[in-house]
Amino acid sequence: MATNSGRCSSEPSGFGSAGTPDPIKALYPMVNEEETPLPRCWSSKDKFSFIGLSQNNLRVHYKGHGKTHKDAASVRATHPIPAACGLYYYEVKIVSKGRDGYMGIGLSAQGVNMNRLPGWDKNSYGYHGDDGHSFCSSGTGQPYGPTFTTGDVIGCGINLIENTCFYTKNGHFLGVAFTDLPPMQLYPTVGLQTPGEVVDANFGQAPFVFDIGEMMREQRSHIRTTIKRFPVPDTHGEWQTMLHKMVSTYLVHHGYCATAEAFARSTSQDFDEELTSIKNRQKIQKLVLAGRMGEGIETVQRLYPGLLENDQNLLFMLKVRQFIEMVNGTDSEVRAVSRSPRQSHESSPSPSCWSNGPSNSNSSSVIQLHTSVIQSTKSSNGQSSSTSTTNNTLDDMNMRNAQEVTSNSSSNGTAVITTPASGVDSDAEMECIESNGHSQDNGHSNGFFNGYSKHLDPEPQETDAMDVEGNGKGRKMCGGNPAAMERMLGFGRELQRMSQVLRRELGKNEQNKKMLQDAFSLLAYNDPWNSPVGWQLDPIQREPVCQALNSAILESHQLPRRPPLEICVAHAKQLISLMSRKGLGSCAFASVESILNQ
Amino acid sequence: MDVEHSRGYIDQLYSNDPQRCFQAVSELKFAVIGSVREKGSIIEQGIVTRLLQLLTQQDSDLNLKTEVATVLNSLAKGLPEHATALVQAGLLPILWQQLEAGASCGWNAYTQMVLCCLRSVYRQGCAPVPNWDHKLLTTLIQYGYHPTSNQECVANILAHACKTSEQQQLLLEAGGAELVACMLCSPVSRVQLPALHCLAAMCHNNERVSVTIATRSYGGKAVPDLLVGLMSRDKARDMQLAAAVCLTFLHRAGALSADDPKIVFKTLQCLVRMCRRDREVWERVEAGNTLAYLTEISTELQHTAAMTDHLIQTLTDYLKCQAGPALPPVDFCASPITSRQYDGSTLWSELMKEAALKVYASLGANDEVIRQRVIETEGLMETIVNSLASASPPVQLAAVRCLHSLSRSVHTLRTTFQDHLVWKPLMAVLKSSVSEELVSMASSTLCNLLLEFSPSKEPILEQGAVEFLCGLTRKPHPGLRLNAVWALMNMAFQAEHRIKVSILHHLGTDQIFRLLSDSDVNILMKTLGLLRNLLSTKAHIDQIMQCHGKEIMQAIILILEGEHSAEVKEQALCILANIADGDMAKSAIMSNEDILKKLMNYMVIPNVKLQIAATFCISNLIWSAEEGASERQTKLRDMGVYKLLQNLMTTSDTTLFDRLKDNTLLHARLPDIHPSESSLPQEDRIHLARLWCGHYPVLNYQRNVPCGATRRRMPSLNPRPFSPLTIQVGILGGSILFPHHRGCGCAVSCNTASDPGQWTRCRDDPSSRRC
């Protein structure tokens, strides 16, 4: 009895955290064990005193007198069977039939008397070895199957979709024993009644004698067929049209321009959103995903005037991201200082604009902002940098010089990069920066190649540049440039100010506060990339920002924030988890992912 | 389409200008596609001859031939009559020939169409068995590897055309197994399904082919494993069923054993699942028939099936099935081996009944507990009796099968069968039916109903059973003769004198001689058993010997001098021993020096059983308490018998010694003779001999008869208590032993032979019997 002093509830976590494959979990992939843990052993508490447990609470033996049926004793598993199992199954091996072999195997609800065999009471169901009868909440059994005894393996299965229970003997299916099981949660239960009776349970930790996997596959294919054949009232082809619409809005939303066009053509839909709109958004997305937040914000303001001004929280989010990118050394602001004189020309207007933004929060500031946007647009459009250097300060020049002195090797690299950047082709330029980011962040940027990789025309030149950078420069804050650092700090102060303004105007916002704190925390570390807050520097963190921005733009054009397709999928997932909570077993075989990936 | 126009292209069809002709065939193609009426009309007009001529013309253009083949394919897809007409017009040989020719020329489109056409004809089920040779089959199999449309056609052709065991063998030799294995792995179910049917056709009732196929593999997986994969529960149901049929055939042909998990778990469960209420009627019928076949022999499978998924309960549903609504038939493809017409929903109730009765027959074949559960099935007995009286022959046959299976229970014979007076419709079937299979099965059942403890025995006798059975012994079908003699043997067991006389009268000594020279050793054995039972109890022996002594002695000499196995001769010696028990009859032996010499000879030959039998006969002759014993003793002593006995006393064989001691020296005299299984272990026989104290079983052997392990109650007319072992022997042998204190050897056995019909493959497996 010493063995069962160990609390068995510790078992599941032990399984999971060890990282070893968990066969029980694998049987029921749709069960969320945080909400509804799976039964993994017998409960050392929820049992009658005549029951003894051993072998990790998997072996049950009888230790009472076993004189009359009043000496019967049962034990329940630690947890009830989660509905999300869909089809639940456990097996019991009769190690010894003891004196009379009065053993019952089945299910019972919590609170059912444990001084009884399963099946005798309400909400209790059992199959008994001595007579082979099934007991459905009643003291009198019905003829059901063969008797069972020492050496037999009895399986008990519960179909949570049809609310039926079946048994198996030595791997042979005996047929349904109980129908219309109550909707309450049921526990695997065994009961023993005479001395010497010993049974071992297998909750799935070892392979079953009966092929339950095949039965699950059948259920799964059945549920899928039901889903696929679900009748849709589609009298006028509306359903079809709606589906087409969903697909095309999804493509448009994410800016898959060519695909969207092709899809619209092949389904003969109107392709009403202008291509330019997609292209604009794509451009912004690219900038944001490349970490060039300054330019991104600027482009947004140019193409969608008023958008950010009306959504200060979004603006704040973008700026915090810009700050993070500055720390990362990828933002054009910092890059410009550290690398390319021309780039600094182009992007220099934005910081000044930001310094204006928060301070003038009255209505006139909007106009003010507009003008600055126009200015910056001009500057970025201008082919020759000399005409647009009006905003350029002497300080910038100095800083640039200083940078060139301090790191020769890196300026070599930049020289190569800037060659394409001086042209109009921003795509090529983007690629440069991306490859840079890539080398810095150890390849975390997989996700964002996705959207526009088709635009990329890798040139040997660029790979060279990447190599140079990879060799010549370690990861340093703001690219290791003191001037850039300075600028970053200045920007940070502005950000702080903006946050205060926001708080005053829009009230407290925990999210914003947290965001800013996290971002500023980066400065506390010598090597922010390897700090506890270093995750912010991961390029993948650009994606939510990018999404939010994209959604805001679309919303401002009376288009959905999220594509209906994604909403639909999210809905479905939510419904599945709701089904699981409400005890609807079909959810076990309706995983959205598996259906989509089929 | 107006008549003028339609005539127009038909005229062109006979044109010598290939261009015009092609045009005409093209128009014909469009005319017949999808129109059954048009197809009929074209065939009636005799255009097929011209089409075939176009195919065989040396100079025909390939495009034209392809077009012609397309038309023929379309015609073949019409009604079965249309396909028959095509076959009668000589389509098949031409197509086969074209196929062979095409193989060398690489005419892809054309040969594809030819294959399609062949497929369509064979699928109609009206084509005769083709004359395959190795070369033709090899060609066909080569076509079967790709593309998919060819695979489908070849699989279908093979599935429908492979019917005889020679064809199965030929197909195997030509590489059919490899092709089928490959097709099973096809991703296209249109190929997989006919491939399964083809596999079933190849394996059916053919051990050699099945064993070979079971070892073939594709992609690293053996064919049986591929089949299990196709049978898994998430596959289409028709696929599951077809795979289960294949595995069943492999099992019954001996390629997979009954305890193979693929059979006892997968196949069995799949078939039981297919019997469920929520399945289509055709699925349930096919699954039921297959299940009956699967479980026909193996007690283990019967046990498992009986406890799987409430099968016995589920089948009651089959009995209640009414003619379904007249729905258009579901599109399905049943195996050509077992396929039937499911179109007419009026037949459904018959088909369902037949399937259920077959399953019940198989389930109840060997186990009394299962049998009792079957008998308790609601409405079963009524269904059996009604089906016997008035149903189509297949249902009648199934009902008789079921009855036969159930008749192996003493309890049932004495209760349920009596309640339902099953003998009445059974006799009616026997007297009216012309189907040999049906009569054979019914007479087997009759054997059991004639067991002496069966209450039906008397009324059956009153119905003129003796005359009828004696008539059956003259049938050419050996199974019928065997059953008839068997039934007579059972009837004669402890029978009244008048019955014995009646048997002898109706059978006639001529017929007895004929039966004794029967080529079937089982018939011979049962005839000897009949004689033994006739020659039992002193009074009967004397009376019978008085009338027929000469013939009987002749018959015995015939057997003893003939080229027979020891078991047969042992039986003959046992008859002699019985004769030696009669008062007057003794003289028949004593006066025949030839017989006495033969007996002495058998006492010295090195076969213990024969020695024992001969010794018994001698001991009956010298039984001192009887009149004239001293003379007989003297005579025998003079002949040197005493010396022989003394020699035998020194035998090292303990059995023989015991017998001698018991019988000869202690004067416990007569053996009780009984046909039982010689597979009984020696130890048991010794043991039994001791128990019975002077009664020894003469063990004979009924080959090829799966005997029911019947758990029986003691017959009440038995004068002596049985030891438990006696019952065990009865069960072991499927027969009952009735030791009697003296006089006569009697033989009774329960006929458990199944008929040698389609489903039957009798095997000797008495070893697995248990009490």
- Chain B positions in Cβ-Cβ contact with residue A176 (cut-off 8 Å): 310
For the cut 60, the answer to whether the pLDDT of residue A9 exceeds it is no
- How close A252 comes to chain B (CA, Å)? 37
Whole-number mean pLDDT of chain A?
Answer: 75
Burial of B345-360, coded b for 16+ CB within 10 Å and e otherwise, reads bebbbbbbbbbbbbbb
Mutate to test the interface with B, among A131, A142, A173 (most CBs of B within 10 A): A173
Burial of A437-465, coded b for 16+ CB within 10 Å and e otherwise, reads bbbbbeebbeebeebbeeeeeeeeebeeb
- Chain B positions in Cβ-Cβ contact with residue A174 (cut-off 8 Å): 307-310
Task: Please check whether residue B509 touches A, CB under 8 A.
Answer: no
Which tokens sit at B49?
């001859």
- Chain B positions in Cβ-Cβ contact with residue A175 (cut-off 8 Å): 308-310
Question: Of A47-51, A346-350, B194-198, B565-569, where does mean pLDDT reach its minimum?
Answer: A346-350
Task: Please check whether residue A142 touches B, CB under 8 A.
Answer: no
Mean pLDDT computed over B266-280? 92
What would the DSSP string read from start to end of B675-739?
A: ---TTS-HHHHHHHHHHHTS--PPP---TT--------PPPTT-SSPPPHHHHHHHHHHTB----
Tokens 């690398």 belong to residue: A339
Mean pLDDT computed over A217-243? 85
Mean pLDDT computed over A429-453? 39
Query: Cβ of B307 and A145 within 8 Å?
Result: yes
Cα–Cα distance, A286 to A453 (Å, whole number): 10
Tokens 């008035």 belong to residue: B390
For the cut 90, the answer to whether the pLDDT of residue B264 exceeds it is yes
Which tokens sit at A139?
């003291």
- Chain A positions in Cβ-Cβ contact with residue B232 (cut-off 8 Å): 214, 217
Task: Please check whether residue B304 touches A, CB under 8 A.
Answer: yes
Query: Cβ of B308 and A175 within 8 Å?
Result: yes
Task: Please check whether residue B309 touches A, CB under 8 A.
Answer: yes
Query: Cβ of A214 and B265 within 8 Å?
Result: no
- pLDDT at residue A15, rounded to an integer: 41
The answer to ipTM > 0.90 is no
- How close B759 comes to chain A (CA, Å)? 25
Cα–Cα distance, B465 to B477 (Å, whole number): 19
Query: Cβ of A174 and B308 within 8 Å?
Result: yes
Cα–Cα distance, B587 to B598 (Å, whole number): 16
Pairing of strands A172-178, A59-62: unpaired
pLDDT classification of B34: cutoffs 50, 70, 90 = confident
The residue in chain B having the minimum alpha-carbon distance to the alpha carbon of residue A225 is B234
**Cis omega before residue B147 (within 30°)?**
yes
Query: Cβ of B309 and A175 within 8 Å?
Result: yes
- pLDDT at residue B343, rounded to an integer: 61
Query: Cβ of A174 and B307 within 8 Å?
Result: yes
pLDDT classification of A405: cutoffs 50, 70, 90 = very low
Helices A312-328/A293-303 angle, 10° precision: 150
- pLDDT at residue B655, rounded to an integer: 63
Mean pLDDT computed over A49-76? 93
Query: Cβ of A214 and B309 within 8 Å?
Result: no
Task: Please check whether residue B265 touches A, CB under 8 A.
Answer: yes
pLDDT tens track for A563-598:
888 899 999 999 988 988 888 888 888 888 888 876
Cα–Cα distance, B393 to A232 (Å, whole number): 49
The residue in chain B having the minimum alpha-carbon distance to the alpha carbon of residue A220 is B234
Question: Of B227-231, B298-302, B323-327, where does mean pLDDT reach its minimum?
Answer: B323-327
- Select the more confidently predicted residue: B767 or B484: B484
pLDDT tens track for B107-133:
688 889 999 999 999 888 777 777 778
Query: Cβ of B234 and A214 within 8 Å?
Result: yes
% of chain A exceeding 90 in pLDDT: 30
Kind plus residue range of the DSSP H or E element containing A131: none
For the cut 60, the answer to whether the pLDDT of residue B287 exceeds it is yes
- pLDDT at residue B5, rounded to an integer: 52
Ramachandran category for residue A22: left, alpha or beta (phi over 0 → left; psi -120 to 50 → alpha): beta
Task: Please check whether residue A175 touches B, CB under 8 A.
Answer: yes
Residue A364 backbone phi and psi in degrees, to 5: -65, -25
The residue in chain B having the minimum alpha-carbon distance to the alpha carbon of residue A144 is B310
- How close A68 comes to chain B (CA, Å)? 30
- pLDDT at residue B654, rounded to an integer: 64
Query: Cβ of B307 and A169 within 8 Å?
Result: yes
- pLDDT at residue B508, rounded to an integer: 85
Query: Cβ of A211 and B265 within 8 Å?
Result: yes
Between positions 57 and 76 of A, the ones with CB within 8 A of B are: none
Chain centre to alpha carbon of residue B640: 51
Mutate to test the interface with B, among A131, A165, A166, A172 (most CBs of B within 10 A): A172
- Select the more confidently predicted residue: B313 or A401: B313
Cα–Cα distance, B60 to B327 (Å, whole number): 46
Query: Cβ of B308 and A173 within 8 Å?
Result: yes
3-class SS of residue A551: helix
Q: Are B83 and B36 in contact (CB under 8 A)?
A: no
pLDDT tens track for B684-725:
333 333 333 233 322 222 222 222 222 222 222 222 222 222
User: How do the residues of chain B divide into helix, strand and coil, expressed in percent and rounded to 5?
Assistant: 65, 0, 35
pLDDT classification of B62: cutoffs 50, 70, 90 = confident
- Chain B positions in Cβ-Cβ contact with residue A173 (cut-off 8 Å): 269, 272-273, 308-309
Closest by Cβ to B234, choosing from A175, A211, A218: A218
- pLDDT at residue B703, rounded to an integer: 25
- Select the more confidently predicted residue: A66 or A457: A66
Q: Are A319 and A333 in contact (CB under 8 A)?
A: no
pLDDT classification of B640: cutoffs 50, 70, 90 = confident
User: How many Cβ contacts (< 8 angstroms) between chains A and B?
Assistant: 36
Closest listed residue to residue A27, CA positions, set A36, A14, A38, A17: A38
- Chain B positions in Cβ-Cβ contact with residue A221 (cut-off 8 Å): 233-234
Which residues are CB-contacts of A342 (< 8 A; sequence separation ≥ 6)?
A385, A418, A421, A422
Question: Of A404-418, B311-325, B329-343, B502-516, where does mean pLDDT reach its minimum?
Answer: A404-418
Question: Of B40-44, B482-486, B696-700, where does mean pLDDT reach its minimum?
Answer: B696-700
Query: Cβ of B234 and A217 within 8 Å?
Result: yes
Cα–Cα distance, A324 to B625 (Å, whole number): 126
Closest listed residue to residue A14, CA positions, set A57, A72, A48, A71: A57
Task: Please check whether residue B232 touches A, CB under 8 A.
Answer: yes
Closest by Cβ to B307, choosing from A146, A214, A217: A146
Chain centre to alpha carbon of residue B115: 36
Tokens 């509830």 belong to residue: A9
For the cut 90, the answer to whether the pLDDT of residue A144 exceeds it is yes
- pLDDT at residue A442, rounded to an integer: 40
Instruction: Centre a 10 Å sphere on the Cβ of residue B621 and count the other Cβ atoms it contains.
Output: 26
Task: Please check whether residue B233 touches A, CB under 8 A.
Answer: yes
- pLDDT at residue B662, rounded to an integer: 52
- pLDDT at residue A25, rounded to an integer: 92
- Chain A positions in Cβ-Cβ contact with residue B234 (cut-off 8 Å): 214, 217-218, 220-221
Cα–Cα distance, A284 to A549 (Å, whole number): 9
Which tokens sit at A346?
């182009």
Query: Cβ of B269 and A172 within 8 Å?
Result: yes
Q: Are A99 and A195 in contact (CB under 8 A)?
A: yes
Query: Cβ of A214 and B307 within 8 Å?
Result: no
pLDDT tens track for B158-190:
988 888 899 999 999 999 999 999 999 999 999
Closest listed residue to residue A288, CA positions, set A280, A296, A278: A296
Cα–Cα distance, B549 to B177 (Å, whole number): 62
Q: Where are the alpha helices (DSSP H) in A290-425?
A: 293-303, 307-310, 312-328, 332-338, 341-347, 349-359, 363-381, 394-406, 408-422
pLDDT tens track for B294-315:
999 999 999 999 999 999 999 9
Cα–Cα distance, B349 to B32 (Å, whole number): 37
Question: Of A381-390, A524-533, B399-408, where does mean pLDDT reach its minimum?
Answer: A381-390
Which tokens sit at B704?
């090829």
- How close B372 comes to chain A (CA, Å)? 14
- pLDDT at residue A394, rounded to an integer: 44
- pLDDT at residue A472, rounded to an integer: 38
Mean pLDDT computed over B579-599? 83
- pLDDT at residue B756, rounded to an integer: 30
For the cut 90, the answer to whether the pLDDT of residue A110 exceeds it is yes
Mean pLDDT computed over A363-383? 38
Task: Please check whether residue B308 touches A, CB under 8 A.
Answer: yes
Mutate to test the interface with A, among B233, B264, B311 (most CBs of A within 10 A): B233
- Select the more confidently predicted residue: B662 or B208: B208
Task: Please check whether residue A213 touches B, CB under 8 A.
Answer: no
Query: Cβ of A173 and B309 within 8 Å?
Result: yes
Question: Of A222-226, B448-452, B453-457, B654-658, where does mean pLDDT reach its minimum?
Answer: B654-658
The pTM of the full predicted model, rounded to 2 decimals, is 0.72
pLDDT tens track for A459-518:
444 333 333 333 334 567 777 778 888 888 888 888 888 888 888 888 888 888 888 888
Cα–Cα distance, A366 to A369 (Å, whole number): 5
pLDDT tens track for B352-365:
999 999 999 999 99
Q: Are B381 and B425 in contact (CB under 8 A)?
A: no
Tokens 């944001």 belong to residue: A288
Residue B242's identity, in one-letter code, is A
Whole-number mean pLDDT of chain B?
Answer: 78
Task: Please check whether residue B310 touches A, CB under 8 A.
Answer: yes
Cα–Cα distance, B55 to A375 (Å, whole number): 86
- Select the more confidently predicted residue: B103 or B293: B293
- How close B375 comes to chain A (CA, Å)? 16
The residue in chain A having the minimum alpha-carbon distance to the alpha carbon of residue B261 is A171
Query: Cβ of A217 and B232 within 8 Å?
Result: yes
Question: Of A201-210, A440-449, B540-549, where does mean pLDDT reach its minimum?
Answer: A440-449
- Chain A positions in Cβ-Cβ contact with residue B269 (cut-off 8 Å): 172-173
Closest by Cβ to A215, choosing from B233, B309, B310: B233
Mean pLDDT computed over A302-320? 86
The residue in chain B having the minimum alpha-carbon distance to the alpha carbon of residue A217 is B234
For the cut 50, the answer to whether the pLDDT of residue A536 exceeds it is yes
